[in-house]
Structure 1
Amino acid sequence: MLLLAVDTATPAVTAALHDGSAVVAESSRVDARRHGELLLPAVDRVLAEAGVTLDAVTAVVAGVGPGPYTGLRVGLVTAATFGSALGVPVYGLCTLDGLAWASGLEGPFVVATDARRKEVYWARYDSARRRVDGPSVDRPADIAERVAGLPAVGAGALLYPDTFPDARAPEHVSAAALASLAAEKLADDPSGAGFPPPQPLYLRRPDAQVPKNYKVVTPQ
Structure 2
Amino acid sequence: MKILAADTATMSCSVALIDNGNLLCEQTLISGQTHSRHLMEMIKKGLDLAGLKMNDIDGFAVTKGPGTFTGLRIGISSIKGLAAASGKPVAGISSLAALAAQSSFSGHVCTMIDARRGEVYSARYSVSASGFNCSIVKQESAETVMTPEQTVSDIDGHALFIGNGAFLYQQKIKGILGHLAIFPSFLQNTIQASTIARLGMEQLQKKYSTEPHPLVPSYIRASDAEKMRSNR
TM-score above 0.5, yes or no: yes
Per the normalisation by structure 1, the TM-score is 0.87
Q: Name structure 1 gaps, 5 residues minimum.
A: 213-220
CA-CA distance at 1:147 after TM superposition:
3.7
**1:192 aligns to what?**
208
1:51-90 alignment to 2 at 5 Å? 51-90=51-90
- 1:168 is matched by which residue type in structure 2? P
**2:173 aligns to what?**
163
CA-CA distance at 1:182 after TM superposition:
2.3
The answer as to whether partners of 1:93 and 1:198 remain within 8 angstroms in 2 is no
1:1-20 alignment to 2 at 5 Å? 1-20=1-20
**2:145 aligns to what?**
137
CA-CA distance at 1:32 after TM superposition:
4.4
With over 3 angstroms needed to count, the CA separation of the structure-2 counterparts of 1:98 and 1:211, relative to structure 1, is: closer
**1:176 aligns to what?**
194
Task: Count residues with an aligned counterpart.
Answer: 209
- Mean alpha-carbon deviation: is it higher for 69-78 or for 141-150? 141-150
The answer as to whether partners of 1:68 and 1:206 remain within 8 angstroms in 2 is no
The answer as to whether partners of 1:22 and 1:180 remain within 8 angstroms in 2 is no
Cα distance in 1 for partners of 2:228, 2:101 equals 41
**1:126 aligns to what?**
126
Task: For residue 65 of structure 2, give the secondary structure of its aligned residue in structure 1.
Answer: coil
With over 3 angstroms needed to count, the CA separation of the structure-2 counterparts of 1:160 and 1:44, relative to structure 1, is: same
Cα distance in 2 for partners of 1:70, 1:50 equals 29
More helix by share: 2
The answer as to whether partners of 1:55 and 1:86 remain within 8 angstroms in 2 is yes
With over 3 angstroms needed to count, the CA separation of the structure-2 counterparts of 1:211 and 1:103, relative to structure 1, is: closer
Q: Name structure 2 gaps, 5 residues minimum.
A: 128-134, 175-180
Cα distance in 1 for partners of 2:164, 2:26 equals 20
With over 3 angstroms needed to count, the CA separation of the structure-2 counterparts of 1:102 and 1:211, relative to structure 1, is: closer
1:81-100 alignment to 2 at 5 Å? 81-100=81-100
Cα distance in 1 for partners of 2:146, 2:56 equals 41
Cα distance in 1 for partners of 2:210, 2:103 equals 22
- 1:177 is matched by which residue type in structure 2? T
- Mean alpha-carbon deviation: is it higher for 160-169 or for 79-88? 160-169
- 1:90 is matched by which residue type in structure 2? V
CA-CA distance at 1:144 after TM superposition:
2.3
CA-CA distance at 1:35 after TM superposition:
0.8
Residue-by-residue CA offset, 1:115-159 (whole Å, 9 max, x unaligned)? 111111111010142211121111111122234541111110011
Cα distance in 2 for partners of 1:111, 1:210 equals 26
Cα distance in 1 for partners of 2:31, 2:116 equals 15
Per the normalisation by structure 2, the TM-score is 0.83
Q: Please report the RMSD computed on the Cα atoms of aligned residues, expressed in angstroms.
A: 2.2
Cα distance in 1 for partners of 2:154, 2:98 equals 22
Task: For residue 31 of structure 1, give the secondary structure of its aligned residue in structure 2.
Answer: coil
Residue-by-residue CA offset, 1:34-74 (whole Å, 9 max, x unaligned)? 21111111111210110011121111111001012111100
CA-CA distance at 1:211 after TM superposition:
7.5
CA-CA distance at 1:75 after TM superposition:
0.4
- Mean alpha-carbon deviation: is it higher for 164-173 or for 64-73? 164-173
**2:162 aligns to what?**
153
**2:223 aligns to what?**
206
